[in-house]
Amino acid sequence: MGIQRTHYDLIIVGTGSGNSIPDARFDDKSIAIVEEGRFGGTCLNVGCIPTKMFVYPAEVIAQAQDATRLGVTFADPTVDLAEIQRRVFAAKIDPIAAGGEAYRRGDETPNIDVYGGHAHFVGERTLEVNGTEITADQIVLAAGSRPVIPAQIAASPVTVRTNEDIMRLDKLPEHLVIVGAGYIAMEFAHVFSRLGCRVTVLARSAAALRHLDDELVERFNRAARAQWDMRYGVEVAELAYDANGKIQLTLSDASVLSADEVLVATGRVSNADRLNAAAGGLELAEGRLKVDAYGRCVGPGASGVWALGDVSNPVMLKHAANAQARVIQHNLLYPDQPRPLLTAPVPAAVFTHPQIASVGLTEREARAQGLEIVTAVQEIGDVAYGWAMDEKLGVVKLVADKATSVLIGAHILGPDAATLIQPLVTAMSFGIAMDSFARGQYWIHPALTEAVENAALKLCEG
């Protein structure tokens, strides 16, 4: 039997943000959706959503344990891992993933065919999936990313965990070693330590979350050292099982650790290298699919091919992928009226303890670019609600253009940082000067947002 070839108006590879593209306006188009794993992509299944559903109970425990400084003491928590997992996966994540696939395969979307398997190019606008070739007038590549496993760890006989399976452990490890000190590592350090595990973090550099503004780096690492066994400037040299079945880690400083589980959280890499992009006439840049300002792929065979999310964007965040999907959706529907990808600053949050959020340039980055800036630092503990919380560490740090007082960076560490930063994201995105931002609206007293207000006022006065 020869190779089957089926032609479509549109092929979408990946069911994360890419799956949001076909709506009722695409009902007259033949569409193929290709998914190698579970419907819903990284965010739904192993990323943003389930991790935050683990973070929330961890944060509840943290608040209870930290309440002693407020004159309130709770009994030690009892953690039911099976119940947490049931709430996260059986009650929410797994039904949504299964329902999304059933919907696309069902009678409600008869114009859509679903292919389960890995897609790779075998020609221009031609993909092979499980031995079947499919072609299309338009292709959207939303194939996501995967965890990075350092070579020395991948070559070892030890089974290690990543964010893709750590949340489905049968039992909580007594001692969890986390390799890496980025946002994934720090979120899981918070989760597992508050659920009752002893946590050791191996940071290759001299600080965790070192991409942050220096003000936040210092404060966060101070908090991290108080919560977890932080090992800085080390890497894993060797991994093996000992005679008791425990994992033995030999580190680059010759020290040895014994662990029940090892979580590797050393970053994620674009799946662009798994698409055989060259066969499709597509160009890569720094390991990602190269796209233009409209989301169109670049290369001699790139006509009609688009890319979004982790496969093409160095900013591996769900809200960035969703924004790109909306733009590409419009461009597919209205090719004569194309819209460029959103270039507004992309905020990010780390749901660790303390919580962190940032957008734009750090002070160090701004000065390295030779920009004339002003900065302001506001202690969250110095506003009224900060007093109520007895907050000791939280801070709002702003970086603005000196001539215009328009923000070029905002950084928050402390309670509800991911929420507090949003008005600053708005001000930055729309070029609102800080004097107007601070003085041109009412700020609720004594809400925590007064820390944002006061930081903006300091910026104007500075």
268: nearest Cα among 349, 189, 182: 182
19: nearest Cα among 91, 99, 87, 92: 99
What is the phi/psi pair of residue 446, to 5°?
-105, 55
246 CB-side CA count, 13 A: 14
Token readout for 213 is 């503004």
Residue 320 has pLDDT above 60, yes or no: yes
d(CA 40, CA 199): 30
Q: What's the rounded mean pLDDT across residues 186-190?
A: 98
> 351 with 52: CB under 8 angstroms?
yes
461 pLDDT band (50/70/90 cuts)?
A: confident
Mapped onto helix, strand or coil, the DSSP state of residue 338 is coil
Token readout for 46 is 């192993």
Residues 6+ apart with CB under 8 A from 197: 172, 173, 174, 175, 176
Q: Pick the catalytic residue: 211, 319, 353, 445?
A: 445
Q: What percent of the chain has pLDDT over 90?
A: 98
What is the per-residue pLDDT across 328-344, written as a single tens digit (0 to 9) for each?
999 999 999 999 999 99
Q: Give pLDDT, residue 227.
A: 98
- Look up 190 and say whether it is catalytic: no
Residue 4 has pLDDT above 60, yes or no: no
Q: Give pLDDT, residue 419.
A: 98
Q: What's the rounded mean pLDDT across residues 278-307?
A: 98
Q: Give pLDDT, residue 460.
A: 86
Q: Give pLDDT, residue 285.
A: 96
Segment (H or E) for 135: strand 132-141
What is the per-residue pLDDT across 133-187, written as a single tens digit (0 to 9) for each?
999 999 999 999 999 999 999 999 999 999 999 999 999 999 999 999 999 999 9
> 244 with 141: CB under 8 angstroms?
no
Which amino acid would we find at residue 397? K
2 pLDDT band (50/70/90 cuts)?
A: very low
The label of the residue with tokens 């970086």 reads 399
Mapped onto helix, strand or coil, the DSSP state of residue 93 is helix
**C-alpha distance from residue 345 to each of 7, 276, 341, 408, 427 (Å):** 39, 31, 12, 9, 11
End-to-end CA, the chain: 76
The label of the residue with tokens 């070192």 reads 210
User: How many Cβ atoms are within 10 Å of 318's Cβ, its own excluded?
Assistant: 18
d(CA 21, CA 13): 11
Q: What's the rounded mean pLDDT across residues 371-378?
A: 97
Answer left, alpha or beta for residue 115, where phi above 0 means left and psi between -120 and 50 means alpha.
beta
Q: Give pLDDT, residue 1.
A: 35
The label of the residue with tokens 């925590």 reads 448
Rounded to two decimals, what is the model's pTM? 0.96
Token readout for 145 is 């990313």
Residues forming beta bridges with residue 138, ordered by sequence position: 10
What is the per-residue pLDDT across 239-279, written as a single tens digit (0 to 9) for each?
999 999 999 999 999 999 999 999 999 999 999 999 999 99
What is the phi/psi pair of residue 106, to 5°?
-90, -175
Q: Give pLDDT, residue 462.
A: 63
List the alpha helices (DSSP H) in 46-105.
48-66, 81-85, 94-105
What is the per-residue pLDDT across 431-440, written as a single tens digit (0 to 9) for each?
999 999 999 9
d(CA 40, CA 14): 8
Radius of gyration of the CA atoms of the chain, in A? 24
> 175 with 258: CB under 8 angstroms?
yes
d(CA 429, CA 408): 9
What is the phi/psi pair of residue 299, to 5°?
145, 170
Beta strand 31-35 with 5-13 is: parallel
> 224 with 110: CB under 8 angstroms?
no
Residues 6+ apart with CB under 8 A from 178: 185, 188, 189, 199, 200, 201, 202, 262, 263, 265
Q: Give pLDDT, residue 343.
A: 94
Token readout for 186 is 């720090």
Mapped onto helix, strand or coil, the DSSP state of residue 296 is strand
SS3 content of the chain, % helix, strand, coil (to 5): 35, 25, 40
